[in-house]
Amino acid sequence: MTFVDQLAFWEATLLIGAVLLGYVGFTAFWAMRHNDAEGLKSVFRGAAAPVGGIGAVATMLGVWSEAAWPLPGSYNILFTDIYLLFGLTLVMLAISMAASLKLQYAGLLGLVAGGVTIAYGWQGYQLGMTKEPFQMFLLYGAFGLAGILSFPATVVADYYLAHPDGTAFALRSGVAVARRRPSIQAATRGVQPVVPTDASGTPDPAMSVRTTFHLPIYISATLLVFVVSMALAGIAALFFMDSTLPAHLAYAP
């Protein structure tokens, strides 16, 4: 079987995918931070086409490579198995975003694929495969970590979109208003919840409950850590591509 040096192109698609997903993650965080559910939906709809396009290319190349084995020996297993998982994950994510389906199932696929990616990268590093085994491990580790972190990020996005009325992560606050009539309980206890009333003495829910949106720190951290992991994956793909690009251009089969 003739060796087809397409690793640099594969790495280019990995870089593009990392940049796309990192940007989607940041813009999603920004929309949620401003409590903009429609903006978040627009982010996902707009990202579905480019993410799906990269995923479709990676999936087709992955399926072909799994059948044709264009690389020398076990390098086909090391590279094409993970590349196909990358493509499938992007395709599932794109379909979920375009059809407004729950994203967490694509995130769950990313979690499993991420764990498998780290395992492949570690074994490839232990076996000393490629001329740059440590860079290869960084590439696999960064994408694997990003895949694992995609699951909590998609769960957070699903939870937010399930509350389009703006009540996701809302904090309840109330206005303390004295009772119309004195209460024996109020006189005998120093601190009691106060129920606001209207002029007739009837409790007024509108006066007692008021919500303000607040994005918790742990939610912000979940989304931003995913964005950072995608940035690291993109940087790793760029460095790895830089090491293979000269051979890709100068020594065609």
End-to-end CA, the chain = 11
| Confidence bin at 174 (pLDDT 50/70/90) | very low
pLDDT at 133: 86
Tokens read off for 164 = 């389009």
Give me the phi and psi of 197, to 5 degrees please.
-130, 160
pLDDT at 207: 46
192 membership: H or E segment, kind and range: none
Tokens read off for 55 = 């995923």
The Cα 103–Cα 44 span in angstroms is 10
Torsion sign over Cα 111, 117, 120, 121: negative
Domain-wise residue ranges, the chain:
7-167+216-250, 175-208
CB atoms within 10 A of CB 85: 23
pLDDT higher at 4 or 158: 158
Tokens read off for 173 = 């606050």
Tokens read off for 36 = 């903009």
pLDDT for 159 beyond 50: yes
Q: Stretch 30-59: mean pLDDT, rounded?
A: 95
116 close to 145: Cβ distance less than 8 angstroms: no
Average pLDDT value over all residues in the chain: 84
pLDDT higher at 243 or 137: 137
pTM score, two decimals? 0.80
Which residues, listed in sequence order, are joined to residue 197 by a DSSP beta bridge? 203
pLDDT > 70 fraction of the chain, expressed in percent and rounded? 78
The Cα 6–Cα 68 span in angstroms is 13
pLDDT at 181: 46
The Cα 195–Cα 202 span in angstroms is 9
pLDDT in tens, 232-253: 999 999 988 887 777 667 766 5
Tokens read off for 24 = 């989607």
pLDDT > 90 fraction of the chain, expressed in percent and rounded? 60
pLDDT at 246: 74
| Confidence bin at 8 (pLDDT 50/70/90) | confident
222 close to 169: Cβ distance less than 8 angstroms: no
Q: 7-167+216-250 adopts what CATH topology?
A: 1.25.40
Q: Stretch 58-67: mean pLDDT, rounded?
A: 94
pLDDT at 253: 58
- For residue 107, with 0-12 CB atoms within 10 Å meaning exposed, 13-18 middle and 19 or more buried, which class applies? buried
Which residues, listed in sequence order, are joined to residue 203 by a DSSP beta bridge? 197
pLDDT at 71: 83
CB atoms within 10 A of CB 242: 12
13-27, 62-76, 139-153: segment of lowest average pLDDT: 62-76
pLDDT at 179: 45
pLDDT for 206 beyond 80: no
The Cα 158–Cα 97 span in angstroms is 11
Q: Stretch 208-224: mean pLDDT, rounded?
A: 79
pLDDT for 189 beyond 50: no
Collapse the DSSP code of 177 into the 3-class scheme (helix H, G, I; strand E, B; otherwise coil) and give the result: coil
Q: Stretch 150-160: mean pLDDT, rounded?
A: 96
pLDDT at 203: 52
pLDDT higher at 231 or 199: 231
E runs forming strands in 195-234: 210-213
CA atoms within 13 A on the CB side of 128: 0
Instruction: In the chain, count H helices and then E strands.
Output: 8, 2
